[in-house]
Amino acid sequence: DAGVTQSPTHLIKTRGQQVTLRCSPKSGHDTVSWYQQALGQGPQFIFQYYEEEERQRGNFPDRFSGHQYPNYSSELNVNALLLGDSALYLCASSLNRRNYGYTFGSGTRLTVV
Amino acid sequence: LAKTTQPISMDSYEGQEVNITCSHNNIATNDYITWYQQFPSQGPRFIIQGYKTKVTNEVASLFIPADRKSSTLSLPRVSLSDTAVYYCLVDRSARQLTFGSGTQLTVLP
């Protein structure tokens, strides 16, 4: 049973560029959340997708956007990259209406230079 | 969302029992307490969740006093592979997990 799969594992981008990160949820899960984790900090909630719609958002600017597909997979897009966007981006999947059982992927390490 | 406070770091030796305490003075009636473990360059992994008294699973125990203003994660007989960051979360929403800075547990040989 595959867990959460994220791609790519590592990425280097230049300031001002745009990036797309991808996530395939655990089998049977229908909800996908994205988190940003800076070095030495805990993960910070970006947003959550359910039924192909963003239904909750954390304190992140509009440069951060996402999408969920009918097969529940998801993308995180970040525009106009800043040096401060360098972080580990984590995807977590879950079954709707459960506040436990989140499964996290291993993340995408984004470096902005 | 309730704020949690936990020690920044802890050291232990292999084979010892480790207890990590988390304070959550503003916990609400319908909040659950959840602990996650995270290894470097990996996502957090769910360890245990509880609402009151004691919960035990195959890897840990969670002790919650009657006032629920704190909780203690207990790891029996730790090994080197238990070296990780441990996060205490208090959440009532299924939509958002709020992580603090966690506790870096280092298990020494």
**pLDDT, tens digit (0-9, with 9 covering 90-100), for B19-71:** 999 999 999 898 899 999 999 989 999 999 999 999 999 999 999 999 999 99
| CB nearest B95 (choices: A56, A104, A106) | A56
Among residues B14, B32, B33, the alpha carbon closest in space to that of B88 is found at B33
Considering only residues B75 and B41, tell me which one the structure prediction assigns the higher pLDDT.
B75
Return the pLDDT at A2: 65
The string of pLDDT tens digits covering residues A31-60 is: 999 999 999 999 999 999 999 999 999 999
- How far apart are alpha carbons A74 and A34 in whole angstroms? 9
Return the pLDDT at B97: 87
Nearest CA in chain A to B44: A104
Report, as an integer, the average pLDDT of A74-92: 98
Confidence tier at A1 by pLDDT (50, 70, 90) = low
Interface of B with A (CB under 8 A): 32, 34, 41-46, 49, 87, 91-102
pLDDT averaged over every residue in chain A: 94
Residue A112, pLDDT > 60, answer: yes
The reply to whether A55 touches chain B by the CB within 8 Å rule is yes
The reply to whether A99 touches chain B by the CB within 8 Å rule is yes
Return the pLDDT at B94: 60
Burial code (b: 16+ CB inside 10 Å, e: under 16) for A44-68 equals bbbbbbbeeeeeeebeeeeebbbbb
A25 contacts: CB under 8 Å, gap ≥ 6: A4, A31, A32, A72, A73, A74, A91, A93, A103
In terms of phi and psi (left: phi > 0; alpha: psi -120 to 50; beta: otherwise), the region of A109 is beta
Greatest CA separation found in chain A? 39
| Residue A107 to residue B42, Cβ atoms within 8 A | yes
For residue B24, give the 3-state DSSP assignment. coil
Residue B104, pLDDT > 60, answer: yes
Q: Are the C-beta atoms of residues B94 and A97 closer than 8 Å to each other?
A: yes
- How far apart are alpha carbons B71 and B87 in whole angstroms? 12
Return the pLDDT at A101: 74
- Chain A, residues 6-45, CB within 8 A of chain B, namely 33, 35, 40-45
| Residue A88 to residue B41, Cβ atoms within 8 A | yes
| CB nearest A41 (choices: B46, B94, B101) | B101
| Residue B43 to residue A92, Cβ atoms within 8 A | yes
- How far apart are alpha carbons A99 and B44 in whole angstroms? 15
Contacts of A103 in chain B (CB under 8 A): 46
Report, as an integer, the average pLDDT of B1-8: 83
Range with the poorest average pLDDT among A62-76, B44-58, B93-107: B93-107
Contacts of A100 in chain B (CB under 8 A): 32, 34, 46, 49
